[in-house]
Structure 1
Amino acid sequence: MDSVLARALIEDPTEDGRLPLFLLFLAFLATFLITRTITRLIRAGKGPFRDRVAGGVHIHHAIPGIVLTIAGAFTSVAVDGSSPGAEIAAVLIGIGASLVLDEFALLLRLQDVYWEREGQLSVQVVSLTIAGLGLMAIGIDPLSDHTLSVGHLVIAINLPFHVAGVLMCVAKGKYSTASVGAFIPPVAWIGAIRLARPHSAWAKRHYSSEKRERAADRAHRFDDRYGRWGLNIEDLVAGKPTASPAVSGQEPSDPKGAA
């Protein structure tokens, strides 16, 4: 496995047709970083950027993202893998998909939770996507590699458990754990099997009052020791959320996301 990864890192991505995928990965990552920088400048009232409003309607960046993703998909089919159309399509899809997934939580809830704690779900989804694209960009594609090795098989078997672990961490309100677990699978697995955060959707649906008390006690002890560190890392990436709950009339979500 180590030799496969080392060889992939030094190979030229243009030699085996991986250039479009490599460009898609770079476009996706760069767009996410630029988008988060711009939105945080808008929120702080700094720089030349402002929210896009047309006819009193706030145009979220997921809208141009959908347009670019569709345009890239159509272009990809039309050029049938030929250059430079394939590379152009890859960049369009990378930019568009990044814009859409950056507002994943907003689209899921149909509410503007971008700067709420619930809105940081978008960062977990983007992190998982970057991890997957990064593996494929350096040539680790266990689903289509004809020279399948033991290392590739391990990745193929691990992938469903990896995704399930990250999603379980999100359901249990462990957002920081999900972010780290997107890149380090064992972190997600451990977070998935441990007690949920007391105010998470998982705890509300599946825990008895006694188990929620246990979860609350454990979360309190964990946060006293590690919570601020994990929260600072997450806020550094996603931006510090507002103090008010995302949905009026509902119990505020747990302000921490590790454990």
Structure 2
Amino acid sequence: LIFIGVLTAVVLLVLHLTRIGLIINQQIPDRPHRRLFLASVSFFVTFLAVRLLVASITHHIGPFGYVEMGGRHIHHLVWGILLLLVSGYATLAEVGTGSTPQSILMSRLLSMGYGIGAALTLDEFALWLNLDPAAYWSHEGRESIDAVVLFGALLAMGTWGAPLLRWMVRRKASA
């Protein structure tokens, strides 16, 4: 959960305080595509970070450990499902659809929450199918990678497809 907070804060600060945020607003002018962009970036960054974190826990590198409650291991897909439920409910309630600074912040937070939740959930996709925690690093764990690649590609196409293609055409025409 600390990771989620840090990731969210860093991305929001980068978008707000750097030239990258201005470039993104110029290249992706409509809000729905910017939301997809934030979800996509959050998805891929979270997936990579979680894989590294689980590898470090598995190989006893660093101070990291599994989350346990009452002696029971809480898989990270649980946190992902909770984030997906919260961001989905808030979206249905039309949170973050206004034009005030608070609404824009909520829009960004919900988009990132969706991407983070999807990554946490799909990273353990093999567990959905096999109900065996050992499947994470086994051959069956490949199903999680496949699910992440497919969903990530869908997010990326929705985000970067048309805007990136238009930018490339404009750049080639001006060259």
TM-score of the superposed pair, with normalisation by structure 1: 0.48
User: What is the distance in 1 between the residues matched to 2:96 and 2:67?
Assistant: 35
User: What is the distance in 2 between the residues matched to 1:10 and 1:56?
Assistant: 47
2:78 is aligned to: 63
Q: How does 1:1-259 map to 2 (within 5 A)?
A: 12-13=27-28, 15-17=29-31, 18-78=33-93, 79=95, 81-82=97-98, 83-112=104-133, 113-140=135-162
User: What is the distance in 1 between the residues matched to 2:142 and 2:60?
Assistant: 21
Q: Greater RCO between the two (CA within 8 Å, min separation 6)?
A: 2
1:105 and 1:131, CA in 2 relative to 1: closer, same or farther beyond 3 A? same
User: What is the distance in 1 between the residues matched to 2:88 and 2:107?
Assistant: 10
Query: Following TM superposition, where does structure 1 have runs of at least 4 consecutive aligned residues deviating by more than 4 angstroms?
Result: none
Secondary structure of the residue that 1:51 maps to in structure 2? coil
| 2:84 and 2:118 in contact (8 A); partners too | yes
User: What is the distance in 2 between the residues matched to 1:94 and 1:117?
Assistant: 25
User: What is the distance in 1 between the residues matched to 2:62 and 2:114?
Assistant: 28
String of CA shifts for 1:47-94, please: whole Å, max 9, x gaps. 111111221211100001111111111122221633232221111111
Q: In angstroms, what is the RMSD of aligned CA positions?
A: 2.0
Where do 5+ consecutive residues of structure 1 fail to align? 1-8, 142-259
String of CA shifts for 1:13-35, please: whole Å, max 9, x gaps. 2x122211110001101100100
User: What is the distance in 1 between the residues matched to 2:88 and 2:25?
Assistant: 29
Secondary structure of the residue that 1:138 maps to in structure 2? helix
1:11 and 1:128, CA in 2 relative to 1: closer, same or farther beyond 3 A? farther
String of CA shifts for 1:92-115, please: whole Å, max 9, x gaps. 111001000000010122221111
Where do 5+ consecutive residues of structure 2 fail to align? 1-23, 99-103, 164-175
Structure 2 counterpart of 1:133, which letter? L
- 30-39 vs 48-57, which moves further: 48-57
Who wins on radius of gyration, i.e. which is larger?
1
> Where is the helix percentage greater, Structure 1 or Structure 2?
2
Query: Percent same amino acid among aligned pairs?
Result: 36
